[in-house]
Amino acid sequence: MLTRNARKIFNPAHYIRNFSASSTLTQNIACEEIRIPSPWGGEVAGKWWGPRNKRPILGLHGWQDNCGTFDRLVPFLPSNTAFLGVDMPGHGLSSQLPPGMFYHGIDIPIFIRKIVEHFNWSKVSLLAHSLGAMNSFVYTMLFPETVDFLICLDGFPFRNDRTAHPSALAKTINSFLKYDALNASTTEPPSYTFSELEELWHRGSRKSVAKESARYILQRNVTPAKNKPGEFYMTRDLRLKVGALLHWTQEDIFDGCKRITCPFFLSLGKQSQFIQLEDLAFEMLNIIRKNNPNVEYHQVEGTHHLHLNTPENVGDLVRTFIEKYDVVDRSDFDIENKMRIVL
């Protein structure tokens, strides 16, 4: 029986008329499914676009999304760019953490560090969205000398006072125990038609993900139901719904901004919830600019997921930034025996 922990590549083109697979959406950019061994006994899943003999830009997606979120943005990158989008642990097709383990919030910077060490990169280039952007920013605060540029799409770290209260932390622990038990269950979860899932994902994102864009994320987040032909269920780790236990103070974040010395790009969607934090973003940007002249900020038309819904609104800005600051030699990168190509 397929369980909540199942990981199976799902191609909605087999089930949905007139659906173009993501590989056709990347125009002439070669894209391959890859797997990287993980230290917790499973695999990190991802998609590699472009040349395989160059160190790629590393792509980190948002909360409960996966690397399919970059399918429509990649065609806007410079044509000779290598891009590696990965599914973070518990997301998409990547393995989940073992039962009883908590996603603490600092896990993603550790995850980035493990990817860097696995490939033996001296530097890393980061392009990330939402939760991935917040944690890529934190990674750059922690290891500034290892990042050659940072692109944050609708995400930067900020303090959330509500989650630091003891009653909120107690609720978080109880929520974790509930979802940990559900996640370990062998009972098949509720299933839906793919059209219903598109609507659920659209509404669940507060309409940030357009219904017609939801499939790019869902194709890595669902698997066919065993006993209900034509229906599918979600396979991402339910424990991801639980809030983090580790929180930064705003003072620590501001102090960390002083360590962002690489070229930095931040964009916020005009219809995104993050635009409400623009004043805070300005404070952070002003701190960064005191030690770093290579900072760009763009307010862009669109939702929190505009890079997926309307990539043309931000794609040219991202490409221009990369063309300006991608000045290192990436040609000495060798991926031999570092990952497995999924045929």
Respond yes or no: is residue 130 known to be catalytic: yes
**Which is the catalytic residue, given 38, 94, 125, 130?**
130
* Entry field: residues in the chain: 343
- Residue at 209: amino acid letter: V
One-character DSSP codes across 38-72? -TTSSEEEEEEES-SSSPPEEEE--TT--GGGGTT
Alpha-carbon radius of gyration of the chain: 19
Q: Please state, in angstroms and rounded to a whole number, the distance separating the CA atoms of residues 328 and 272.
A: 33
Q: SS3 for 68-116, per residue? A: HHHCCCHHHCCCCCCEEEECCCCCCCCCCCCCCCCCCCCHHHHHHHHHH
Q: Please state, in angstroms and rounded to a whole number, the distance separating the CA atoms of residues 41 and 78.
A: 35
Q: Any idea which residue has 């930064």 for tokens?
A: 248
Active-site residue list: 130
